[in-house]
Amino acid sequence: MPCELSGEYAIDLKNALELKGYNSAITSFNGQYLGYIVPAKYYYFDAYESRLMGWFGPSMGDYLMELDYTVADSLTGTKL
């Protein structure tokens, strides 16, 4: 991932892959850095990770996860 992905998002992706029989390791800082990505419900918390490091707004998490699932679907040949 080109970001620090919230544990809540990471476990969702990892579990979806596991249900299809794949083991995964969600890692961060792969070449680029988009900041800390959290679900929109946490974006407005006055905390370091959610507010200060969430540079792209509250919808970036949902957008990035949509891309992550699209890539995972393509790599696995299944629909997660």
Considering its fold, how many domains does the chain have in total? 1
Give the model's pLDDT for residue 36: 92
Per DSSP, the three-state class of 37 is strand
Domain that holds residue 62: 4-76
Segment 13-29, tens digit of pLDDT = 999 999 999 999 988 88
Phi, psi for 5 (deg, rounded to 5): -90, 130
Average pLDDT estimate for 3-17: 94
Task: Provide Rg for the chain, Cα atoms.
Answer: 13
Cα dihedral 66, 44, 7, 34, rounded to 10, equals 60
The alpha helices in the chain, defined as continuous H runs, are 7-19, 40-43, 60-76
Give the model's pLDDT for residue 6: 92
Percent of the chain with pLDDT over 70: 100
Residue 72 banded pLDDT, cuts 50, 70, 90: very high
Give the model's pLDDT for residue 29: 80
